[in-house]
A and B are shown apart, each in its own frame.
Chain A
Amino acid sequence: MSMNKGAHNQSREETSRTVSEELELLAVMGQDFAASLDIEETLSRGLQRITDYVGAQAGAVFVLSDDGTTLTCTACSGPIDVVGLSLGSDEGIVGRCVQNNIPEIVRDVSKDPNFFQAADEVTGFETRSLLCAPLSVKDQKIGAIELVNKSSGDGLFDETDLHLLQSLSSSAALAIINARMAEALVEQERVRRELELAAEIQRSLLPDPGGDDFPVCGINFPARTVSGDFYDFFPLEDGRICFNLGDVSGKGMNAALLMAKTASLFRCLGKTIHQPGQLMARINAEICETVTRGMFVTMVGGVFDPRTGKVVLANAGHEPPLFRRTDGSYEPVPAQAPPIGISPFLTGSNDFPETEIQLENGSLYIFTDGVTEGYLENGEELGAEGLQERLTEYTGLPIGERLQTVLSPLKRDDVALRDDLTLLVIEDNNTGHAEQVVPPAGEETVPKKILSLQFRSQAKNLKGVRSAITGAAMMSGCSEAACQDVVIAVDEACQNVIRHAYNGDDNGAVELDVLRDGDDLVVELRDYAAPVDVSKIKPRELDDVRPGGLGTHFIREVMDTVEFLRPADGEGNLLRMVKRIA
């Protein structure tokens, strides 16, 4: 045991201490420090060894506080326990040693003006001489280690003692730094785990995807572990769907917490308040009561009715959503109110004006600025136009896949996101998948298909059919009056299919094709019901005002040619109607 050996050595002449013994002591203490899990325990043990070895009465380790203002004793050896004793970082000989970062031998403390008398007064210990070495790693000051009152030999600390203490202080300083770094790592790991938990709770606040047939779908990629963005949607009892998308100022934990609060308020209040303007005003009042100064939320909240394709929304300071019509054009829906959390005086529903949009088979895209300001691989921002281009390009993809694909150039595995990415779409897919082909300019020689729709034989689909046929007729260059006539004819023809051919069966397949053939607009309506006896279909007598029978009259009145054809494959009925448009 080196300590016994050290104690034994005390009885010898000081000069007889051999280099190999000192090296052995240092090696043992160094190993001890390197393997230490408890730094204070190891410091105490090391200090005791060197106190014994040098033959001092006492020893102490002082460590500088984080702010560098005080020195506190964290380990000691000797008759008096001074652990916890504090003094100013420039007080006493130990303070001077720390500040100058120079080891010192003070053989008579009474002659030293810096000697900190107060300590002896408190402890009753009499300090005569001191050996003090700074604890430091490079320029980083950690504290100092001191030995008091040499009792062996001539009672005077010498250079050999000082060198020995310096060697101890070097390994002790490293050990303290290591211990602090390990502590910081543990703390970092703890914070990281807490962030993960927070992120998990945040993810649980996002709604479950509704599948490709569900008209609302969203996607969120956080830039960090937690996100300041959010979106949500949930069905109301009357069949409408309440939705929102928001962006909290900032990106850190504070943003994530405000996000959680705002999203929860929306979900809770949104179930009873179905007017988006009123809902936003209510949330604004709540948030303003408690929000941290300078934080705010931009948000779009609304209600979508899948049966009518109508969206009612309020936009509080958020990036304008993009309404994509079936003709491929986009219209931004600008904010009409400031962000949530700015003004506590905005509490009336009129303060958050509502906008009504008839989607008419189009889509409404709501997104955060992380999307438009996201960096592409070439270093440029995606921008609003870039987003529109991508939305147009991938418009044929299923709803969830489309959102993923549109954002894919921003969400690259090798690059950290600049900001959270969030994108939500509300889609009016009442009449099934509409496919439109833009006719090329110039002379037409072969019939060009302009519109192809498939839908079920349900009255609620007619509104969508009308808007699709309006778009198709306008694209073909029909006058407004001609458009109106074609809409009437198609609507009435579809009604006949629903009411008479399918006779109330709401699951019958209906196909509508619109073609441009030279100067003619050709509409073909196909069903798969039992063949209709064409001879029984006739326009009503005009002087008879009984209800019913009007539809066929309308069709014949507004279209130039109306033919009931036998489909090529023999099944169902095919109605062919032609309107001359030039």
Chain B
Amino acid sequence: MKHEIKEEGGVIVIALEGDVDLESSPEARKVLLDCVGRKSPIFVDLSGVSYIDSSGVASLVEALQTARKAGFGMSLVAVSQDALRVLQLAHLDKIFPIFDTLEDGLAAG
């Protein structure tokens, strides 16, 4: 798994790429929580995620809960088909704000 963090216009965009699985989710969790700690609205770009498992989803959920407690939003953008299937299985597609593109997310924010 790879990740890229961009901070611009007062928001943080985290792009995850590759497989977010049992091996890489601790890293994903750390990246997400670090960014949440910066107290800015967060957009997680999942367009490059080829696989995400329950541990990856759990990291997203934990970050979402932490962000909300801090009073900021966390949204998912450009969710790949594979990742969306897993979010749907977890019924989390209704809990996360999900946008087709980052622009859509920023406009809604």
Interface residues of A, Cβ cutoff 8 Å to B: 459-460, 462-463, 466, 481, 484, 487-488, 491-492, 495, 498-499, 542, 545-548, 550-551, 553-554, 557-558
Contacts and interface: CB of A to CB of B under 8 A. Distances in A.
A525 to B, nearest CB: 15
Given A492-B53, A542-B91, A550-B90, A463 B58 contact: no
Contact of B82 (A459, A484, A492, A551): A484
Contacts of A487: 51
Contact of B22 (A462, A484, A545, A553): A462
Nearest to B53: A491
Interface in B55-97: 55, 57-59, 61-62, 64-65, 82, 85-86, 89-92, 95
A499 B61 contact: no
Is the interface on chain B under 10, 10 to 19, 20 to 34, or 35 or more residues?
20 to 34
Given A545-B92, A554-B54, 6 more contacts: A459-B22, A548-B58, A550-B54, A553-B89, A554-B86, A554-B90
B74 to A, nearest CB: 13
A488 B91 contact: no
A462 B23 contact: yes
Contact of A558 (B64, B82, B89, B95): B89
Contacts, number: 59
B91 A492 contact: no
A487 B51 CA distance: 10
Contacts of A466: 19, 21, 51
Nearest to B55: A495
> Is the contact region of chain B dominated by helix, strand, or loop, or is it mixed?
helix
A495 B22 contact: yes
Contact of B61 (A459, A481, A495, A547): A547
Interface string B34-46: 0000000000000
A459 B95 CA distance: 28
Interface of B: 19, 21-23, 51, 53-55, 57-59, 61-62, 64-65, 82, 85-86, 89-92, 95
A553 B90 contact: yes
Contacts of B64: 545
B54 A463 contact: no
21 contacts: A459-B23, A460-B23, A462-B21, A463-B21, A463-B23, A466-B51, A487-B51, A488-B53, A495-B54, A542-B91, A545-B65, A546-B61, A547-B62, A548-B58, A550-B54, A550-B58, A551-B53, A551-B54, A553-B90, A554-B54, A557-B89
A237 B86 CA distance: 36
Contacts of A548: 58
A550 B27 CA distance: 19
Contacts of A557: 89
A498 to B, nearest CB: 7
Contacts of A558: 89
A488 B22 CA distance: 12
